[in-house]
Amino acid sequence: MTQSANVRVRPKETEHEIDEKGYFIRQKNRFDTPFGEGEGNLPVEAGRYRLIWAKGCHWSNRASIVRELLGLEDVISINLVGHGKHELNLGWEFVNDENNTDPVLGVQFLSELYANGDPDFKGRPTVPAVVDITTKKVVNNDYVWLTNYLENEFAPFHKEGAPDLYPVELREEIDKYNDFLFDHVNNGVYKAMFAQSLEAYNDAFNHLYAAFDSIEERLETNRFLFGDYVTDSDVRLFVTLARFDTYYFKNLGPIRNRIIDFNNIWGYARDLYQVPAFKNNTYLRDLAKSNGNKETIFIDYNTRFWNEIDFDGLWSEPQNRQEKSSDPENKFKSRT
């Protein structure tokens, strides 16, 4: 296959997103035009957009979970990208499709869709990426707000009885808590894993575990982060928890606790995993799979054991989180 001129070598975070003190500073999202009514906004239409995400990327995983929770499968199409084997790292590729080509968009690499949207873009093509099928351009990669757009602007297309993940009366609190989760947990693990100085690493590590401690305390009396029902914040926390013991741990250095060592957080994570949309979009075995070298004397844990661990069985062990709810039979409150 002849590669398009728009295929780009993927920039490295550790070369382009590190400040003078060794701290990881995540690049800004390139396409952040909001969905909704109003001049310049992206129109909300069924069948117009395609969501591109990756199993290993928690930023995109939360959009795929919310899409299914709200019943938007026939409204926004979807496809997965992964990493192919090339001499150079060419970034996200449609490795699961015939000829490594997305059957709807007709491209091999996500970078081609970014170039369609901005030929001068030099950053990392990231997921989630919402592509306008009519133009084959990425129109939104703003993971910060994407789930909220699905929850609010796409409400006319929600399935009957869809959960209200972003209730009006809690939005200010949810937004504030989501900022906390981003800084200390979701991006916190990457701040530690990409840190290029011990100062930056220790700072990120300490903030990460301080956040886990506060979440553990919060979940002592609450079934979910905001009480009896799942909200947008729970989706954002879950996707990081799902990757912590399966993958992140090996790049974090000497970890203080695994997720399984937090009584409340671990029960909470398993409670969410029982929801089909969470389970269907969480590929635990794929997350844990390692490409380590088996020819060396010391082989990393995942390379040795990932295929022997019953991840689904582990995450499906019983928990009694419903006892903390005043509405134990329901995990969701329907949108009214």
- Which residue, among 259, 227, 257, has the nearest Cα to 240 in the 3D structure? 259
- If phi > 0 it is left, if psi is from -120 to 50 it is alpha, else beta; for residue 100 that is left
Which position among 49, 57, 201, 247 bears the catalytic label? Answer: 57
The 3-class secondary structure across the chain, one letter per residue, is CCCCCCCCCCCCHHHHCECCCCCECCCCCCCECCECCCCCCECCCCCCEEEEECCCCHHHHHHHHHHHHCCCCCCCEEEECECCCCCCCCCCECCCCHHHCCCCCCCCEHHHHHHHHCCCCCCCCCCCEEEECCCCEEEECCHHHHHHHHHCCCHHHCCCCCECCCCHHHHHHHHHHHHHHHHHHHCHHHHHHCCCCHHHHHHHHHHHHHHHHHHHHHCCCCCECCECCCCHHHHHHHHHHHHHCCCHHHHCCCCCCCHHHCHHHHHHHHHHHCCHHHHHCCCHHHHHCCCCCCCCCCCCHHHHHHHHCCHHHHHCCCCCHHHHCCCCCCCCCECC
Assess whether 149 carries a catalytic annotation.
Answer: no
Assess whether 57 carries a catalytic annotation.
Answer: yes
Which position among 114, 143, 190, 201 bears the catalytic label? Answer: 190
Show which residues are catalytic. 57, 190
